[in-house]
């Protein structure tokens, strides 16, 4: 399958690689991965695609939602495939419950399996941090921005969901500060990934959304908004997230920026905008300390 990549990054080669894991039945599980994160040697991570699962119909095929009417047995099999590719099992995944707020929680092995094999005891959690090996953090997207954080010095990780509401409230900063509080993480050490999500060309927003960004990022509006002069703006969530990470002290060279837009790759990825209101699944972002 041909992947559409954003042109301005072609000089650097692909930032995200398509990698294929082998499923238990011999089929393949295609995922997107930042090679730089894997090269740290301390984590396993990837973003799932629509492909490589067992769900059917509108959920075809790598659906990770139990709440949209898919057969739960198929969703479990999808999670088992994801977990196997990470080198673990379904009981060692822990999932967010995303509501576009900025709550970030430290999770431990006591939370393993929450969201997959047992109930979550949270209902408003857009970010997770941990320093436990073998506990895989799971977050979900269909145009919203996945952020991942790896602190090699303290062997700690974080993952969060940054939609426009989370981005304007700087959930990237909240996650970094939670890692500092819990693990003494210094942003200067952290490698951050801004994962596959909607690009500025595809993300038209209303004036009231643009106004929130102008208020939240004073002096930076020209970097993140293009006025279309028709009451709408094009919003660059990737750059707004990058600015937030830089403000907190993450070195520019430590920020990995997606070169793949969800909306421009609807055959490969789930995109809310590309589906135009039709039912769709989510991409999962998974990150685990080895
Ligand atoms: Zn796009």
Decide if 177 is inside a domain. Answer: yes
Decide if 152 is inside a domain. Answer: yes
Decide if 231 is inside a domain. Answer: no
Decide if 228 is inside a domain. Answer: no
Decide if 215 is inside a domain. Answer: no
At residue 4, the 3 state secondary structure works out as: coil
Per-position pLDDT tens, the chain of length 290: 889 998 755 566 679 999 999 999 999 999 999 999 999 999 999 999 999 999 998 888 999 999 888 999 999 999 999 999 999 999 999 999 999 999 999 999 999 999 999 999 999 999 999 999 999 999 999 999 999 999 999 999 999 999 999 999 999 999 999 999 999 999 999 999 999 999 999 999 999 999 999 999 999 999 999 999 999 999 999 999 999 999 999 999 999 999 999 999 999 999 999 888 777 788 899 999 99
What's this model's pTM, rounded to 2 decimal places? 0.97
Ligand 1: centre distance to CA 2 (Å): 15
Ligand 1: centre distance to CA 203 (Å): 7
Helix residue ranges per DSSP H, the chain: 35-39, 72-86, 164-168, 171-183, 207-216, 221-224, 237-247, 272-275
Q: Are residues 201 and 261 in contact, defined by beta-carbon separation less than 8 angstroms?
A: yes
Q: Which residue carries 């937030």 as its tokens?
A: 244
Decide if 224 is inside a domain. Answer: no
Number of structural domains the chain divides into: 1
Ligand 1: centre distance to CA 42 (Å): 31
Question: Can you say whether the dihedral through the CA atoms of 163, 142, 66, 27 is positive or negative?
Answer: negative
CATH assignment at residue 96: 3.60.140.10
Ligand 1: centre distance to CA 123 (Å): 31
**115, two tokens:** 């969201």
**187, two tokens:** 């942003």
DSSP 8-state secondary structure symbol assigned to residue 231: S
């Amino acid at each position: 399958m041909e992947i559409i990549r954003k042109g301005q990054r072609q000089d650097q080669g692909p930032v995200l690689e398509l990698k294929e894991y082998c499923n238990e039945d011999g089929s393949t599980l295609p995922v997107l991965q930042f090679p730089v994160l894997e090269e740290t040697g301390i984590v396993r991570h990837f973003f799932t695609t629509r492909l490589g699962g067992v769900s059917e119909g509108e959920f075809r095929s790598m659906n990770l939602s139990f709440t949209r009417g898919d057969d739960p047995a198929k969703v479990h099999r999808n999670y088992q495939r994801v977990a196997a590719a990470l080198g673990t099992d379904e009981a060692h995944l822990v999932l967010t419950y995303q509501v576009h707020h900025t709550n970030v929680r430290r999770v431990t092995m006591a939370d393993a399996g929450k969201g997959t094999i047992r109930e979550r005891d949270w209902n408003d959690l857009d970010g997770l941090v941990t320093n436990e090996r073998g506990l895989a953090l799971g977050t979900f997207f269909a145009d919203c921005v996945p952020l991942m954080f790896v602190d090699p010095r303290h062997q700690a990780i974080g993952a969060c969901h940054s939609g426009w509401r989370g981005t304007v409230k700087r959930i990237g900063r909240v996650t970094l500060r939670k890692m500092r509080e819990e693990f003494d993480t210094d942003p200067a050490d952290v490698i951050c990934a801004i994962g596959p999500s909607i690009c500025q060309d595809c993300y038209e927003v209303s004036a009231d959304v643009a106004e929130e960004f102008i208020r939240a990022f004073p002096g930076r509006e020209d970097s993140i908004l293009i006025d279309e002069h028709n009451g709408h703006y094009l919003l660059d969530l990737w750059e707004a997230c990058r600015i937030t990470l830089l403000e907190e002290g993450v070195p520019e060279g430590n920020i990995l920026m997606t070169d793949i837009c969800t909306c421009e790759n609807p055959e490969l990825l789930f995109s809310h905008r590309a589906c135009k209101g039709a039912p769709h699944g989510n991409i999962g972002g998974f990150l685990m300390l080895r």
